[in-house]
Amino acid sequence: MNIVVLAGGTSSERDVSIVSGTNVCKALREKGHYAILVDVFFGMEQLPEILFPKAYDVERAAEDIKSRNENLKQVRAERRKFFGPNVIEICQEAEVVFLALHGANGEDGKIQAAFDLFGIPYTGTGYLSSAIAMDKGVSKKFFEIYGVPTPKGITLDKKNYSGNPADYGLELPLVVKPCCGGSSLGVYIVNDQAEYEDALKAAFSYESEVIVEEYINGREFSVGVVDEEAYPIIEIAPIEGFYDYTNKYKPGSTVETCPADLSTELSQKMQEYAILGARALNIEGYCRLDFMMLEDGRMYCLEANTLPGMTPTSLLPQEAQAIGIDYPSLCEKLIQISLDRHGKTHSW
């Protein structure tokens, strides 16, 4: 198949996206597909004579995309439109676009909506469920409606909020995080009023809405849901601190156990909540949901990720490996179920 792996973009997770896209592109080529790596924001000024060549240097393409990082701020200031030169045209020539994007303008439904209008098949769920899942405040409300346990919390607006958590029925310790952030950027665990005020200031530097929620001090887990099937649970135990951006992407910074050491009863319960959480947000195709669990077995769903990371240390590939699905086969499977969702045929 002719496949565009779309990566890069303008979010704070640009670098992670490039790593995900590079790995996905390599894996699809191992499977015999004519995959190419394209930066959604910078695009291609000049199109090659053969857009989907048989021979292709993925690493060279990735290095070219990385080299644009230093010009990102300047180009964003000078250009009004998001899609780079020829991006839409290139994607229209592909049989499917693998979205290896993370964060704003990638995981929030905007690209999905544009591709729907252009008739471009893509991996992952649609624009509405992407937007809902990206907004942690909105997704929390959907979890509550559908009976998916989630930490008690509130969404604060930068223009009008109280600095006293008691005004919202909340008590320290608390978690403060951007409403639509990703990769745990801007997430703070606070234990006193001074830390709380500092965390609010820092979180608001990322965006104008912030989530404040009760801190669940327990074990952390993640569950992939692929085609309405819950994959084996993975437990995440950072060696230092919590599962923040550094611990997510620095090899050796966490102990990850898959399948997690849980009783059959607790495993089934968490997997059922994961499936219910995906349904609550109307997520199609695949996603990954994050959980915390207290010592007494009470569990809480934190959020859903509609385009889970596909880096060497990412969780969904580890969960797939636990049931015998290697990385290239997982990439191909995600394309297959996405094409089925779009009503498109595929050649395998």
Contact 118, 88 (CB under 8 A): yes
**Is residue 222 flagged as an active site residue?**
no
Helices 136-146 & 264-280, crossing angle to 10 degrees?
Answer: 120
**Is residue 214 flagged as an active site residue?**
no
Contact 58, 29 (CB under 8 A): yes
DSSP 3-state of 347: coil
Catalytic residue among 309, 319, 327, 332: 309
Catalytic residue among 222, 267, 305, 314: 305
Catalytic residue among 107, 220, 244, 290: 290
**Is residue 249 flagged as an active site residue?**
yes
Q: Report the C-alpha gap between 14 and 126 in whole angstroms.
A: 21
**Is residue 184 flagged as an active site residue?**
no
Catalytic residue among 249, 273, 286, 327: 249
- Which amino acid is present at 46? Q
Q: Is 91 exposed, middle or buried (0-12, 13-18, 19+ CB in 10 A)?
A: buried
**Is residue 284 flagged as an active site residue?**
no
Catalytic residue among 288, 314, 319, 332: 288
**Is residue 89 flagged as an active site residue?**
no
Residue written as token pair 């769920």: 125
**Is residue 171 flagged as an active site residue?**
no
Residues 6+ apart with CB under 8 A from 283: 125, 129, 133, 225, 304, 306
**Is residue 243 flagged as an active site residue?**
no
Catalytic residue among 13, 39, 244, 284: 13
How is residue 197 written in tokens? Answer: 């005020």
**Which residues are designated catalytic?**
13, 183, 249, 288, 290, 303, 305, 309
